[in-house]
Chain A
Amino acid sequence: MTVALETRNLVKRFGGFLATNDVSLSVRQGARHALIGPNGAGKTTLINLLTGVLKPNSGQIILGGEDITALPAHRRVRKGLARTFQINQLFGEFTPLESVVLAINEREKIGGLAWAPLVAHTKVVEEAAALLQRFGLADVMGERTVVLPYGKQRLLEIALAIASKPRVLLLDEPAAGVPEEERHEVLAIVRDLPADVTVILIEHDMDLVFSFADRISVLVAGALFTEGSVSEISADPRVKAIYLGEDA
């Protein structure tokens, strides 16, 4: 089993509050790994540590065998660790086309070129168009992002992460806030993500977790409470008590 992403004894404190408590997590390559836990369990903090938005107090983060603990966020993306945000983090005045072109430019390391216009980089434009097509965004590629329906914005959120061609993709509640009638579109995209991309899913929606994940880690009060397959976790009475019971 090849490990795609691993944390070793990760600790993050905010003052006296232990947001991440000695988390050692190992995610197999190609896995569909769900991270669940009640509100305030430290899921988002963990994601922020993994992606470099926050620096841990101690512990290590290893991506594909390489220690990335000290790398700034943008370098981790270059190494193949991309994420989406629970609340859309998009470029409001950009068009979806510009946003995706931007992400591909950076991946191809041409984002610093300051002379030729965007359109001159034909390969990038073609790839962007194909990606937007795949995400059902082709017909709105020239609109300003802020005027798009929320479901489309959600798709763009994922498209931007995919444009970086990640080896490991962190999805932070991909369907959060999406109206029912647009939801299936987002879920279909999540389901059809390339099999070789390792996906870590943070989700409240248990139906989505159980239908999508092959492995589940439960986070409680900043610490890893338990980990197992879908059937193990869904059968675990303690998990039901602390988490599922709360929702049901």
Chain B
Amino acid sequence: MSSASETLMSSTAGKPETTAMALLRRRNSWRAYEIVLWLIAFAMIFAMPSKALILTEITIVALFAVSLDLILGYAGIVSLGHTAFFGLGAYAAGLFAKHYFAEPVTGLLVAGIASGVLGFVTSFLVLRGSDLTRLMTTLGIGLMLAELANQMAWLTGGADGLSGVIIGPILGQFEFDLWGRTGYIYSLVTLFILTWAARRLVNSPFGLSLKAIKTNPVRASMVAIPSRHRIVAVYTIAAVYAGIAGALLTQTTSFVSPDVLAFHRSADVLLVLVLGGVGYLYGGIIGAILFTLLRDWLSVITPQYWMFWIGFVLIVIVMIGRENLARWHTFLPEPLRRAMTRIANWRPGAKIGGSR
């Protein structure tokens, strides 16, 4: 940001409020990598129609990770049980479609509300204590929900899963096809809309206050931020997001199994965020792409040992350090680095930024 502001200073040297407005406008304008990412994602509909299933999987993991980033990257709350919301959303969407109404967008809303309610209620548990307490509390909630789904076989189908879920056409118009193309478009549009909303959220006064709570909770309270309210709010919103991600999984696979609540999902989504980077929303999306492709590739070349290599990669990342990985480009030769910085800092004209 510092280099950006320097160039800005020189061009608009003058009234401080003009500079301030320009700086803040730049702050939330769309970056080049965002636009490129979305263009590629939408181009994939046509470029790789045969890969729709794995693309859908990436999209769902990405939304789940964006959800976790809202609480981890912005409010600084670590969770080992985030799949509780994912799983509840998945079951809610499945049960709703099976027993009430098969239209999927309505199902997404129902799942989001169900998970949001659970998020709101459990948020009061994560308000207390340190990171370790939070890890254990969230882990506990996740395990409890998994066991409930397992035992309430009359409702959930137990270990066999919930079958007979038939999803109707989206908005009564678009049928899901066998190859998963509709599913990918549907998931991608959902991810795009929700990421766009999350982007607004993190760039708003609310988002700024979350980062403040994460960076320096003592000072945050001394500028009158009601930290508890803000944490409850963002935890609830993140739960809604996770629930919608779970619902997408149900709707694109027409099936729900207790696996949606399995501990490994909570761990995977943390891993995804570590891979992609925390605290800028796109870490979840980039991490989901890396993680899913890596897992897919490893499970093909070493079907028996792919978990071993995932573990290995995780250790390498942690040992090298996220900071070093995040600034990998600083190890590049100077000209290449400068070119990259220019690309990364390039934004479309202020007009687009201004309307955001």
Q: Which residues does A use to contact B, with CB under 8 Å? A: 51-53, 72-75, 77-78, 82-83, 85, 89-95, 97-98, 101-103, 105-107, 110-119, 121-122, 125-126, 128-130, 132-133, 138-139, 141-144, 147, 160-161, 163-164
Contacts and interface: CB of A to CB of B under 8 A. Distances in A.
Contact of A94 (B21, B28, B212, B230): B212
A151 B166 CA distance: 65
Contacts of A116: 200, 204
Given A97-B20, A141-B19, A144-B1, A164 B223 contact: yes
B20 A83 contact: no
A77 B227 CA distance: 13
Given A102-B223, A111-B205, A119-B25, A144 B216 contact: no
7 contacts: A75-B226, A77-B222, A94-B212, A106-B223, A114-B204, A132-B20, A142-B19
Contact of A89 (B211, B216, B230): B216
A83 B27 CA distance: 29
Interface string B170-213: 00000000000000000000000000000011011111110110
Interface of chain B, main secondary structure: helix
B209 A119 contact: no
Nearest to A132: B16
Interface residues of B, number: 46
A14 to B, nearest CB: 18
Given A89-B218, A113-B205, A114-B207, A141 B23 contact: yes
Contact of A102 (B27, B208, B227, B354): B208
A227 to B, nearest CB: 26
Interface string B1-29: 11011101100000111011101110110
Contact of A143 (B2, B200, B209, B227): B2
A132 B15 CA distance: 12
B225 A74 contact: yes
B225 A119 contact: no
Contacts of A77: 221-224
Contact of A142 (B4, B212, B225): B4
Given A53-B218, A115-B200, A142-B2, A110 B205 contact: yes
A147 B203 CA distance: 23
A83 B222 CA distance: 7
A163 B204 contact: no
Contact of B219 (A90, A98, A112): A90
Nearest to B28: A117
A128 B20 contact: yes
A95 B222 CA distance: 18
Contact of B5 (A91, A107, A143): A143
Contacts of A106: 209, 223-225
A95 B224 contact: no
B295 interface: no
A83 B216 CA distance: 15
A86 to B, nearest CB: 12
Given A83-B222, A89-B219, A102-B212, 18 more contacts: A74-B221, A74-B227, A75-B224, A77-B221, A91-B211, A106-B209, A106-B224, A111-B205, A111-B208, A111-B224, A112-B209, A114-B200, A121-B205, A129-B19, A133-B16, A138-B16, A161-B222, A164-B224
Nearest to B200: A115
B208 A101 contact: yes
A119 B16 CA distance: 14
Given A112-B233, A119-B27, A138 B19 contact: yes
B215 interface: yes
B356 interface: yes
A82 B222 contact: yes
B112 to A, nearest CB: 16
A168 B208 CA distance: 26
